[in-house]
Structure 1
Amino acid sequence: MKDEYIQTLHPIEGKTNKRISLKKYEIIKDNILSILAESELTHTELMEELYSRVKDNFDGGVQWYGETVKLDLEARRIIKRTGKKPEKYKII
């Protein structure tokens, strides 16, 4: 059976994001949303927490997939940046 893929979006108009495995997308998305449901985090904090949660059971670069999916979630208006310093992410 062939893997399914998703074309991810980018929050900056005119930029394109990557086409990635739907299975990997779902794993990273679920973890990002779970993390942000607990608290607002900076980019570094979010990526470190994501890495600590999935590193042992994820095949691929956690930080790369994390960034790609985070941008997609921003473009889909599921998460957003707080606009304050330090910049943090939260669920809309």
Structure 2
Amino acid sequence: MGVEFKSGCSTIQGSDKSKLWFCVPVSNSHDGEHQMVSGPEKVAMENINSPGHVVRVDKRKYEAMKTALLAVMPNTEPGLTVAELKEQLLPLLPEDLFPGGDKAGWWLKGVQLDLEAKAIIVREHTKPLRLHLNDES
């Protein structure tokens, strides 16, 4: 099933007279009918360093990284460094979502910052940074 852009794309005109083009992705079914293509399900990810800023990310990758990260996260101080966490969680990640560990570092950092924003994990102010579960959550 290939993805194409439906002819007759539309524009949205901004208040500054700029135009933004948008097209609706569709798929061709076997009988030639166009159907909407649903993208990956998304989840909101916060960042402790940017309060109030939320990004929407792939839910399957987020949940896989969160599960792996919490599985290896120590309960108490001194915690583990990000490098130690990554080393321990890489074997736990699904190969179909993170082939060869691809993009695992980005997802680890994103989920780490999200879990810190939600007070599920805490950081120790050490060099290098060390993380552990929040015993109050």
Gaps of 5+ in 2: 1-37
Match of 2:61 among 10, 24, 35: 24
CA RMSD of aligned residues (A): 2.5
Q: Distance in 1 between matches of 2:94 and 2:63?
A: 15
Runs of 4+ in 1 over 6 A off after TM superposition: none
Q: Which has the larger radius of gyration?
A: 2
Separation of aligned partners in 1, 2:74 and 2:96: 21
- May I ask how many residue pairs the two structures share in their alignment? 92
1:6: which partner in 2?
Answer: 43
- Aligned 8 A contact 1:36 1:89 in 2: yes
Which residue of structure 2 aligns with residue 65 of structure 1? 107
Q: Relative to total residues, which structure has the larger helix share, 1 or 2?
A: 1
TM-score (norm 1): 0.79
Residues 2 and 87 of structure 1, relative CA distance in 2, 3 Å threshold:
closer
How far apart, CA to CA, are the structure 1 residues paired with 2:40 and 2:94?
21
Q: Greater RCO between the two (CA within 8 Å, min separation 6)?
A: 1
Q: 1:49 aligns with which of 64, 78, 88?
A: 88
Q: What letter corresponds to residue 90 of structure 2 in structure 1?
A: Y
Q: Offset at 1:85?
A: 4.5
